[in-house]
């Protein structure tokens, strides 16, 4: 099996076939060894892009009308096929990202879990939110009509692989799993930094699609190392929605492109976030070292390459916050430098950090800790006063990497003012005693208005995959804060509500039939 995969590794998957007609090729990069990997990938051509979208569009109705049980079997089989890739996948992942084997295996486990969660959702079936208003011909002054509503899939979807989650938020990650579950064929625009990992996973999805009798265009994977392929996909008239995780620049460009189409389509982009942490003095005084140790770990975890990385720590000027800052700096300086995902992300981190640290009135708290080897970086923090932070919006930007800015506010009033002036965020964290929190409900209120998830006495890194998770937030954390990219509710991004009026029972989908053959929750009015 792996021999075939080796042979086909550099190619694009268009439905059930491998093609590579383009001339432009690229390689991935091993950041630990600081050298290119040895597989050549072929950039998808305009013809290949078109073929993938056409195949998805032609087969949309067939896939849409495939039963929930069959789709669930498809998703579960993808999970099995990914496991069958075994160490080949893990080795490829590590060599393309510099991330350790433990992380690769953990992320594979999360990917499997996500696929299985959506399979369970489909097997149960109530996610379509069937709502039935039966007719009442006797109603006065007008008879009431029979109306039945359910969720139906939007159509073919483009998913952009995320550089910082090569498995859980890429080829078979959360966006793909949720879109396939909804009944939308998926075309993945693979992330160029982990094209090999993506191609292996794509082969698992194709194999599962064949084994479970799915229509051919249900999934395609296109390689590219430039923005054109993604732009062509988003502009294609037969694409109906987009999922994206990455930079503010990329996400916004794709959102604008989608809005300018003749038929605008939704783009669910998850972009930058600095995840503010508010630390109140009483709790800080009680547990200074505990919070310093935990935040040193959270800031530097996986070289800070998480969308939930705590990039901003707000406290009130005083002994507690000063002690915390020095303990945090000390803890961070003990942590070994870590390899970043790619030279481009490494360079982006250095440039952005330098831009922030060169601002006047900003004090670096961990200095001279930069390792000499390329692509490796150590954690760092800096401190600034509240007035300067408020006046310099460059300090509000995400520095994607192991960096956090401590803001020393002159009062709780200023701290609240800062929260109200922040852009939308994925998360916020409140470190406080219960009594302190109860006395500062307006801080909780202010944070709630800015974020999608509020954490009490914890760290923002580590996203639990479960039904109650919200991974999204007011813009620019995400382009549509009404939806979550994590957890089974993510399926709602890829569906639209639809009503049948006065339809005979025999012509209704099973979810809306009177006898309820699927035995799902039907809301009857
Ligand atoms: P990215 O530059 O946004 O790229 C993500 C994907 O979008 C890539 O496939 C890229 O294509 C494509 N893309 C980017 N700009 C585009 C455009 N204008 N039109 C069409 N497609 C476009 O993100 P990245 O490569 O993952 O990392 C770069 C930076 O993004 C990081 O340094 C970090 O600042 C940020 N980032 C943030 C998060 C977060 O969760 N907050 C996560 C990951 C990255 P090509 O690569 O093929 O050009």
Query: Residue 67: CB partners within 8 Å, gap ≥ 6?
Result: none
Nearest CA to ligand 1 atom 43: 246
Per-residue pLDDT at 369: 66
CA distance 454 to 276: 10
Per-residue pLDDT at 372: 72
- Ligand 1, from 31, 42, 163, 221: best to mutate by most atoms within 8 Å of Cβ? 163
Instruction: Please state the rounded mean pLDDT for residues 11-22.
Output: 94
473 phi and psi angles, rounded to 5 deg: 180, 175
Q: 203-221: per-residue pLDDT in tens?
A: 999 999 999 999 999 999 9
Nearest atom of ligand 1 to the alpha carbon of 352: 34
Contact in structure between 470 and 452 (CB atoms under 8 Å): yes
Nearest CA to ligand 1 atom 19: 227
Interval between CA 478 and ligand 1 midpoint (Å): 14
Could you tell me where the DSSP H helices lie in 125-240?
A: 174-182, 195-211, 227-235
Instruction: Please state the rounded mean pLDDT for residues 74-95.
Output: 98
Q: State which H helix or E strand residue 278 sits in.
A: strand 276-279
Per-residue pLDDT at 272: 84
User: For residue 2, is pLDDT > 60?
Assistant: no
Nearest atom of ligand 1 to the alpha carbon of 250: 15
Supply 281's token pair.
């003095």
Work out the pLDDT band at 137, boundaries 50, 70, 90.
very high
CA distance 114 to 173: 8
- Ligand 1, from 22, 250, 267, 347: best to mutate by most atoms within 8 Å of Cβ? 250
Supply 8's token pair.
């086909």
Q: Which of 398, 425, 159, 172 is nearest to 267 (CA)?
A: 159
Q: 488-518: per-residue pLDDT in tens?
A: 999 999 999 999 999 999 999 999 999 999 9
CA distance 245 to 343: 19
User: For residue 370, is pLDDT > 80?
Assistant: no
Work out the pLDDT band at 7, boundaries 50, 70, 90.
low
Query: Residue 142: CB partners within 8 Å, gap ≥ 6?
Result: none
CA distance 198 to 187: 12
CA distance 435 to 457: 13
Query: Residue 198: CB partners within 8 Å, gap ≥ 6?
Result: 161, 166, 170, 171, 188, 190, 191, 221, 223
- Mean model confidence pLDDT for the chain: 96
What are the residues facing 451 on neighbouring strands?
A: 425
Ligand 1 proximal residues by C-beta, below 6 Å: 160, 162-164, 189, 191-192, 224-227, 230-231, 245-247, 250, 253-254, 271-273, 307, 345, 348, 400
Nearest CA to ligand 1 atom 42: 246
Supply 151's token pair.
């969720």
- Ligand 1, from 239, 246, 275, 341: best to mutate by most atoms within 8 Å of Cβ? 246
Cβ atoms within 10 A of the Cβ of 349, count? 21
CA distance 465 to 174: 10
Q: 375-418: per-residue pLDDT in tens?
A: 999 999 999 999 999 999 999 999 999 999 999 999 999 999 99
Per-residue pLDDT at 6: 65
What are the residues facing 35 on neighbouring strands?
A: 30
DSSP state of 511: G
445 class by beta-carbon count within 10 Å (0-12 exposed, 13-18 middle, 19+ buried): exposed
Selected residue with higher pLDDT from 3 and 196:
196
Per-residue pLDDT at 230: 98
Per-residue pLDDT at 1: 45
Q: 350-361: per-residue pLDDT in tens?
A: 999 999 999 999
User: For residue 240, is pLDDT > 60?
Assistant: yes
Q: 138-178: per-residue pLDDT in tens?
A: 999 999 999 999 999 999 999 999 999 999 999 999 999 99
Q: How far is CA 120 from each of CA 72, 77, 294, 516, rounded to the nearest angstrom?
A: 7, 13, 35, 19
Interval between CA 408 and ligand 1 midpoint (Å): 32
What are the residues facing 41 on neighbouring strands?
A: 26
Using the structure block, give the residue that is written with the tokens 């969308």: 307
Work out the pLDDT band at 368, boundaries 50, 70, 90.
low
Instruction: Please state the rounded mean pLDDT for residues 118-132.
Output: 98
Per-residue pLDDT at 458: 98
User: For residue 302, is pLDDT > 80?
Assistant: yes
Q: 33-60: per-residue pLDDT in tens?
A: 999 999 999 999 999 999 999 999 999 9
Interval between CA 520 and ligand 1 midpoint (Å): 40
Q: Does a cis peptide bond (omega within 30 degrees of 0) precede residue 105?
A: no
User: For residue 446, is pLDDT > 90?
Assistant: yes
Q: Is 401 helix (H, G, I), strand (E, B) or coil?
A: coil
Q: 278-297: per-residue pLDDT in tens?
A: 999 999 999 999 999 999 99
Give the residue numbers marked as catalytic. Answer: 270, 307
Per-residue pLDDT at 491: 98
Nearest CA to ligand 1 atom 3: 247
Q: Is 362 helix (H, G, I), strand (E, B) or coil?
A: coil
Interval between CA 246 and ligand 1 midpoint (Å): 4
Query: Residue 64: CB partners within 8 Å, gap ≥ 6?
Result: 152, 153, 183
Q: Is 380 helix (H, G, I), strand (E, B) or coil?
A: strand
CA distance 485 to 419: 24
CA–centroid distance for 490 within its chain: 10
């Amino acid at each position: 099996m792996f021999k075939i995969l080796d042979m086909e590794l550099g190619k694009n998957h268009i439905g059930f076939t491998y093609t590579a007609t383009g001339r432009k090729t690229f390689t991935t990069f091993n950041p630990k060894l600081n050298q290119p990997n040895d597989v050549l990938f072929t950039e998808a051509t305009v013809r290949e892009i078109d073929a993938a979208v056409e195949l998805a569009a032609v087969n949309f109705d067939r896939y849409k009308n495939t039963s929930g049980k069959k789709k669930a079997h498809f998703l579960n089989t993808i999970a099995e096929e990914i496991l069958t890739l075994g160490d080949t996948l893990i080795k490829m992942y590590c060599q393309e990202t510099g991330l350790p084997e433990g992380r690769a295996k953990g992320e594979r486990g999360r990917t499997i879990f996500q696929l299985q969660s959506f399979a369970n959702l489909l097997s149960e079936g109530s996610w379509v939110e069937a709502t039935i208003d039966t007719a009442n011909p006797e109603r006065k002054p007008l008879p009431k009509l029979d109306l039945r509503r359910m969720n139906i899939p939007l159509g073919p979807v483009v998913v952009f692989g995320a550089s910082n989650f090569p498995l859980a938020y890429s080829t078979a990650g959360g966006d793909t799993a949720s879109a396939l579950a909804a009944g939308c064929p998926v075309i993945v625009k693979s992330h160029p930094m982990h094209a090999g990992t993506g191609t292996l996973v794509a082969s698992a999805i194709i194999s599962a699609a064949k084994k479970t009798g799915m229509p051919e265009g249900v999934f395609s994977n296109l390689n590219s190392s430039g923005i054109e392929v993604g732009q062509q996909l988003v502009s294609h008239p037969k694409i109906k929605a987009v999922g994206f995780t990455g930079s503010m620049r990329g996400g916004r460009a794709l959102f604008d492109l989608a809005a300018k189409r003749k038929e605008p389509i939704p783009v669910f982009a998850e972009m930058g976030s600095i995840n503010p942490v508010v630390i109140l003095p009483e709790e800080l005084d009680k547990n200074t070292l505990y919070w310093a140790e935990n935040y040193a770990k959270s800031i530097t975890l996986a070289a800070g390459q998480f969308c939930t990385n705590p990039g901003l720590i707000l406290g009130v000027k005083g002994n507690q916050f000063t002690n915390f800052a020095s303990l945090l700096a000390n803890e961070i300086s003990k942590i070994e430098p870590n390899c970043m995902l790619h030279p481009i992300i490494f360079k982006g981190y250095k440039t952005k950090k330098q831009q922030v640290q060169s601002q006047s009135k900003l004090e670096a708290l961990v200095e001279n800790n930069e390792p000499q080897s390329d692509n490796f970086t150590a954690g760092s923090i800096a401190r600034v006063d509240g007035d300067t932070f408020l006046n310099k919006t460059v300090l509000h930007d995400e520095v994607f990497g192991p960096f956090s800015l401590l803001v020393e506010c002159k009062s709780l009033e200023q701290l609240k003012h800062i929260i109200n002036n922040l852009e939308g965020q994925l998360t916020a964290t409140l470190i406080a005693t219960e009594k302190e929190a109860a006395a500062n409900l307006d801080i909780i209120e202010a944070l709630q208005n800015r974020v999608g998830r509020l954490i009490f006495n914890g760290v923002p890194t580590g996203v639990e995959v479960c039904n109650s998770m919200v991974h999204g937030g007011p813009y620019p954390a995400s382009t549509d804060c009404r939806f979550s990219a994590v957890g089974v509710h993510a399926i709602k991004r890829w569906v639209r509500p639809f009503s049948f009026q006065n339809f005979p029972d025999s012509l209704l989908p099973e979810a809306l039939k009177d006898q309820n053959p699927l035995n799902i929750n039907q809301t009857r009015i």
